[in-house]
Amino acid sequence: MEQASFRERRERFATAIADGMAVIPAAGHQVRNDDVEHPFRQNSDFYFLTGFDEPDAVAVINPNHEKERYVLFVRPRDREMEIWNGDRAGVAGAKNEYGADASYPLSDLAEKLREYLIGRSSLYYPIGDPAHDGTINTVLKQARRFRARDGRVVPDSISDPHLLLSEMRLLKSPAELEKLRTACEISVEAHLEAMRFARPGLYEYQAQAAVEYVFRSKGAQRVGYGSIVASGPNACILHYVENARQMEEGDLLLIDAGAEYGYHAADITRTFPVDGAFTPPQRALYNVVLAAQQATIAQAAPGSSLKELHETSKRVLTEGLIELDLLPRGLDDSLAMHHYRQFFMHGTGHWLGMDVHDAGNYMTPAKRARPLEPSMTFTVEPGLYVDPGHESVAFPLLAYDHDAWMERRYRMGTEAARKLEGQEKEKAGAVEHPIPTEFRGLGIRIEDDILITADGHQNLTAAVPTSCDEIETVCAEQSRLPVF
């Protein structure tokens, strides 16, 4: 059944490349230190097409070849290396177990590509792979000599296959959704256990251990990304991963963690009090984020877009920030001048699937926000982060157009665009506004995984509570894990 899914994907991809040919490299081992390697995780595009979970391989999709339309180039069997690192499929296994029309040792790649490229009008290959770029360039040069000599057709361009594969990966099949649901279910259990487990005096890494223990004990092969376990002011660091601080009475703990199951990643964030009870300021700021998340998720349906969802989050968060006296101007000015970005500086969501920030374009070819469709999956994750060191903030009085900024950034480069923006802000002036003491150092994010359905949406991670009262109830429950 699994191989049938991979075969169907290859057939769709072959149709998309028509009379071209694709060369898709696998991931390689990455050295950690000396002779120790990082745990291997296959390249998602390669795995999507092949299901082959070994490093240092290459897949060739060649739809118009008489016999060898799908070929795997792999490491050959090697008894000595297999004693150290485990069994390999080898050349025979690649064909017999993974559905290849033919398979060869990786050392034969250049020779076979010289043959395959003759008669192909285009080549799909992800330029930038140091292991194979040299081979591809050399073989293309050799093939083009045939064109000069006797007019044979050879590729005159290289296209990125990821553009085609990302479109295929964006719309999830029932089998893919089943894996993603399992990843979400495992992650839900882990977050619930973290709420029960965490308490003052423990370290962030102990809460991380509780989360990842549940991941592995429930069958997840790995984490979907590095777990963020950020207590107190650390929650204001968006990608905090040190996870080393001792948690204190009165802290909020932000955990952003998701399991990967069957090459599909969940992505959940919850923020909760380590001593089991929100303080009034914590509850007030938390409820602003919760209101934004609820309003945003309610809008998720076919025809809406992630850009529209982001606009909803921005508006609700800004309204709440004004009500809590964290912004100096009214709603329209705060939005136009992007004053909310002092406290909400990231997007509201991203595609979710084989990669935690999954493949897929957010815009249409006409540069418009892409409408959501059934079987798309993504996150909704508004947040607010109040820098612990800021007694006041200078809010620039400069209207801001995000589309114009992105165009300028593309045209000038990020560094030059930021420099020019700084000059414009300085010219426009700013208003200084005090930050209430009770909010300083609070970082809050709430994130769920959403599936678009034919008539709306489904929250795949709703089983982890988000209301303050429900969270406090779970925090009061007895953990099932020991503390050593």
Catalytic residue among 381, 448, 449, 457: 381
Catalytic residue among 2, 34, 35, 469: 35
Catalytic residue among 41, 162, 346, 440: 346
| Separation CA 3–CA 5 (nearest Å) | 5
Is 29 annotated in the active site?
Answer: no
Does residue 35 carry a catalytic annotation?
Answer: yes
- Which entry of 29, 145, 357, 368 is annotated as an active-site residue? 357
267 is catalytic: yes
Is-catalytic flag, 385?
yes
> Which one from 267, 275, 355, 358 is the annotated catalytic residue?
267
Q: Which of 98, 261, 286, 385 is catalytic?
A: 385
Q: Look up 310 and say whether it is catalytic.
A: no
Q: Of 29, 32, 38, 239, which residue is the catalytic one?
A: 239
Catalytic residue among 181, 339, 445, 457: 445
Question: Of the residues 169, 350, 358, 448, which is catalytic?
Answer: 350
Active site residue 323: no
- The verdict on whether 447 is a catalytic residue reads yes
Residue 339 annotated to the active site: no
181 is an active site residue:
no
Per annotation, catalytic residue among 129, 193, 256, 319: 256
Residues annotated as catalytic are 35, 239, 256, 267, 346, 350, 357, 381, 385, 445, 447
